[in-house]
Structures are given as structure tokens and as C-alpha cells.
Amino acid sequence: MASVSLSSFCLTQKPSSLFLTSTDRSLFASHSPQFRSAKKFPIRISVCRAGPVFFRNLDADDFRHPLDKQLPELHQLMVEAAEILNVEAPNLYVRQNPVPNAYTLAISGRKPFVVVHTSLVELLTRRELQAVLAHELGHLKCDHGVWLTFANILTLGAYTVPGLGGLLAQRLEEQLFRWLRAAELTCDRAALLVAQDPKVVVSVLMKLAGGCPSLSDQLNVDAFLEQARSYDKASSSPIGWYVSNAQNRQLSHPLPVLRAREIDEWSRSQEYISLLRRATPIKSV
């Protein structure tokens, strides 16, 4: 049986058969010598169906991209967290990045936005992810971006002062890093106000310190908190205090174990308990 392959034909669904007439044979033979010796037997070729196909009972999730499935849920987590903290929900973006992280940007005259890396979405549970979103909302509610810009301008200006300008700038930088670390602790508290469970926030910090999706079910929050207590004991001696101070002085974020200790202690404080008593239940949460 002879066969034919024509560039003008395409295959979209199950092939259908076409039997050529003598007229069709003459037409094809005029363009291709291989058809000139063809006899009067059928030639089977594959062609496109004449009309479009229809999908019955098609659901949007049948073809939705995985990231598109996550974004509505992440946005809802952001809206709930913003409602709890009494702040306007910013725009939310997900960025493809293998390093688990989230950050907030506020540009003058524009609506602020939060960026979450895809690796963080994969690493955390939904409650933990909402705690991260609440942490970023804490930066917005406390206007940390405004103060950070002011501090950077002040530090850069100090370097231009003749004589002691370099020393002054160094001292300002140390104070700036100290404030940045304190700001992170403040936002961890915002995360706890939304999560309302210290173990959720501590679990986030533990995973950021060294967790991965394949080991997430083996991590122990209580053991992580014990590490924080051990760190405090080691830092109680003069040498330990010096080493700890040198280690943390140029960090913009406190060590995760220290942040875990701080949030664990604050969760048992009268200040946190009083805030919970002042809270009003909302239907959306």
C-alpha cells in the first residue's frame, strides 16, 4: 500500500481515513512522482478533524498551573492576617527562587507589596506561611521601611563628616543593625498575634534555620527551644558574652534560636495575654 505525508495535513485527534478518488490521484501524481505508478487501490492518510472538539464537565482545576492554584489560597491567608492586625492587605507576589525567603517593599506613592519565594511555599505549612505573611505585615504596620531609609541616609551622611566621620558612621551602623534586629523581633510578635500559637512561629524559625521539605516532619520544636536555652547559658560567661556580641553585632536578623526564645517567652507574658483578651473574634478567620 502506498503512503503519503503532506505538510498541509496535521494530526490533532485520532486519525481518520481518507480514500482517494482517481481525480485525487491525478492531482497528487502531478506533484509527486511516487504517485504516478499508483493503481486503483485505497491510499490511507491522516487528516485533521473538520471542526473543534468540546470538553464536557471541564473544571478550571483540570488545567490550572500549580502556582495558580496556590495564589488564591495565599492571598486569602494574607487577607486574614491583615484583618487580624488591622492593616490594609498589600499586593502579594510569588517569585521562583530556591532560597526560602520573604520580603516587603514599600515605594512612595505606590501600594506596598510582599514577595514570597516558591521554596518557602514548599517548605512551610499553611499556618506557618500565614505567620510569615503576618511578619511582613508587621514591617508595614510599624513603618519600618520609612525608618530604615532615614537611618541609611543618616549613616551615609556621617561618612562625609571630616575627621571623626568614619568612626561616627561606624557607631551609627552598629546602632542601625541593633535596631534592625529589634524590628525583626517586633514582627515575630505580629506573627504570633496572627498564628496565636507560639509553636507555629517557632517552627517557622526552625525550618528557616536548617529545614527542608523532606525532613520537615522530623523537626522537633521543643528541641529547638532547648538549643536557645543552651545558647543563653553559654553566653552568660564573660567570654561567651564577648563571642555572642561579636557574632551578632553585624547581623540584620537575630539568630533563629534567639528569635525562637524571644517569641516563646513573650507568648507567656502578661502583655501577650492581655492583647488576646482585648481581641475580637472575626468571622473570616
In 3D, which of 268, 263, 178 has the Cα closest to residue 224? 263
3-state secondary structure the chain: CCCCCCCCCCCCCCCECCCCCHHHHHHHHHHCHHHCCCCCCCCCCCECCCCCCCCCCCCHHHCCCHHHHHHHHHHHHHHHHHHHHCCCCCEEEEECCCCCCEEEECCCCCCCEEEEEHHHHHHCCHHHHHHHHHHHHHHHHCCHHHHHHHHHHHHHHHHCCCCCHHHHHHHHHHHHHHHHHHHHHHHHHHHHHHHCCHHHHHHHHHHHHHCCHHHHHHCCHHHHHHHHHHHHHHCCCHHHHHHHHHHHCCCCCCCHHHHHHHHHHHHCCHHHHHHHHHCCCCCCC
Contact present, 114 and 104 (Cβ < 8 Å): yes
**Catalytic residue flag (residue 136):** yes
Q: Which of 73, 136, 173, 174 does the annotation list as catalytic? A: 136
Residues forming the active site: 136
